[in-house]
Amino acid sequence: MTTAPQTAQSGSPADGSGPEQPTIFVMYGATGDLSRRLVSPAFFELARLGRLPRQWRLIGCGRGEKTHEEFRDFIREALEEFGPQPADGPWDEFAANLLFAGGGFTEADSGELPGVLAQAREALGGEAELVHYLAIPPGAFLDTTKGFEAHGLVEGSRVVYEKPYGTSLASFEELDAEVQRVFDESQVFRIDHFLAFEAQQDVMHARFANPWLASIWNREHVAQVQVDVAETLDVAQRASFYDATGAFLDMIVTHLFQMAATVAMEPPADLGPGALQAARDAALQDFRELDPAEVVLGQFEGYTDIDGVPDDSTTDTLAAARVWIDNDRWRGVPFLLRSGKRMTADEQRVTLVLRTPEDGPYAGSATAPSTISFSLLEGGAVDVALTVREPGVAGGTTQGTATLPLAGLGEPALPYVHLIEHVLTGDRSLFTGVEGLRAAWTCIERFSNDRPAVLPYAPGTWGPEAADALAEPGQWFLRS
C-alpha cells in the first residue's frame, strides 16, 4: 500500500491557477447518468473557475466503444442539457483533455485503459497523479478495486467511491476489507454528496461561529432535531435502481444519518479535514441501535404502476425514523429523520425545535415552540421563529419568523464541484469516514432483520399518518 502524494492547493479563480501536479482522472461509468448529470458538469465548472490542475486529462472508462471525439460530443451534450453551457467556458481547451477507454475494466480484463493511460502520461510528462472515480453501480466496487491491484494502478493514486458504500453491515465489511487491503486509508474518498451542500455546511459554520447559537445547541434547550428531505417527483427515471433500494437505504442510512451527525457532533478543535471527519464519525458511533418500532415505511399509491416496478413490490418510497444519540449533549432528544417521493413539496431542512419555558410567566403555556430551521435548497436560508407579543390592545402572543437568505451572500458552488476540488487537494472534510459508516450500518442491523410493514400514502401528502406519531408530543416542522 502506498499513500497518495500530497497535491498542491488550488489557486484562486482570479489568477486561473490550479494545483501544480499533473493529474489524470479516470471516470469509471463515464457514460452513465451520474456522470452526465453531476460529475462531468462539475469538472467543466472547475475548468471555468481555473481550479483544475495546470496539466490534466480526464479519461472516460466504459464498457462500450467510443472514439475520443465521440466521448467529447457526449460530454458536450451533457453540458448543454445540465449546464454549465459549453459556450460559457473554455470548451475547446477542456475538450482537448478528454479521452475515452472502452472495453470496460475488471480484475480479469483492463480493456483499453492501459493504452489510453500511457498516452495521457506521455502527453503530460513527469509523474502524473492518478485519480480513480467510481461512478458505477455499487455492486461493481469490489471487482473494480481488485482490478486496480491486478493491473498495477494503486501506486500514487487516489480513489473515489460513490455511495452507497455497502448495502448492509456485512457487505460494508467485505468491501472495506478489500479497499483497506489494496489502498492506504489516506488514498480513499467515500462520497456522500449531501455533506458538500453549501447550506449543509452553513449549519455547521453558523453553530460554531455564533456563540449564542452554540450555547443552545444541546438537550437543555433543544426538544427535537428534525431532518427532512421531501420530493414531489416519483422514481420513473430510475425505477429499477430504486425498487432494489428504497427510501430507507437510499436516503436515511446514508444522507440523513450524515446530516444528523453533522448537527450532533461535538465542536472539533479546528475545521481541518481530519478533525471534521473524526467529529462526525464520533457522533455516529453514539447513535443507539435503531428500534424497528420507531421506523415508519410508506409507499405512494400508484408506485407499482410505474414501468419497471413489479406489481407486488413492497419497496418503501418514504421512510421516517426516530433516532436517539446516547451522549451527554443529546441524551433524551429525538432526532426525527424523514425522506420520501411524491410528497407535498420539495424541501430539504434541518430544524431545531426549542423547548418551551419551564418557569416564569409563560411556563406551561400553549405557545408554539421556537424553532431554528435551515433550508438546504437553492443556496439556503435560516428561519428563526420566535414567540412575540401580538400587537394591539387585546395583547396575547403570536409567532413571528425572521428569514435570512444565504444565496445572496456569495456565489454558491454545486456539491460535486466542492467534492472534486477536495479530492485534488487531499481534503477529506466533506467525505464520510470509515468508522462512521461502520457505526451507521451497525445501527440499523436490528431494523434490517425486522422491517416494519410498508404503509400506503396518497401522493401529494407528508406520508402515512403513522409517521406523524414519531414526532409526538410535538409535530413535524413540515406538515400538512
Binding-site positions for NADP(+) read 29-36, 63, 163
Contact 325, 216 (CB under 8 A): no
| Core vs surface per residue 19-36: b (16+ CB within 10 A) or e | bebbbbbbbbbbbeebbb
Q: Match 459556450 to its residue by C-alpha cell.
A: 87
Burial category of 403 from C-beta neighbours within 10 Å (exposed 0-12, middle 13-18, buried 19 and up): exposed
Backbone angles phi, psi at 69, to 5 degrees: -70, -40
Residue 303 makes CB contacts below 8 A (sequence gap 6+) with 234, 235, 309, 313, 315, 317
**108 alpha-carbon distance from chain centroid:** 32
Pairing outcome for strands 23-28 and 56-61: parallel
Round the CA-based radius of gyration of the chain to a whole number and report it.
Answer: 24
Residue 433 CB-half CA count within 13 A = 20
- The identity of residue 312, as a single letter, is D
Burial category of 361 from C-beta neighbours within 10 Å (exposed 0-12, middle 13-18, buried 19 and up): exposed
Q: Is 255 a catalytic residue?
A: yes
Q: What are the CA-CA distances from residue 420 to residues 171, 182, 258, 386, 431 (Å)? A: 26, 22, 19, 40, 11
Residue in 330, 294, 287 with CA at minimum distance from that of residue 435: 287
Interior CA angle at 120 toward 115 and 121, to 5°? 95
Q: How far is the first Cα of the chain from the last one, in angstroms, to the nearest whole number?
A: 54
Contact 319, 336 (CB under 8 A): no
Residue 136 makes CB contacts below 8 A (sequence gap 6+) with 28, 29, 32, 144, 162
**What does the block give as the cell for 142?**
469490489
Residue in 243, 235, 324 with CA at minimum distance from that of residue 283: 324
Question: Which strand (E) or helix (H) includes residue 381?
Answer: strand 381-389
Out of 132, 255, 418, 422, the active site residue is: 255
**What does the block give as the cell for 71?**
466521448
**Residues flagged as binding site for substrate:** 193, 231, 250, 341
Active site amino acids: 255
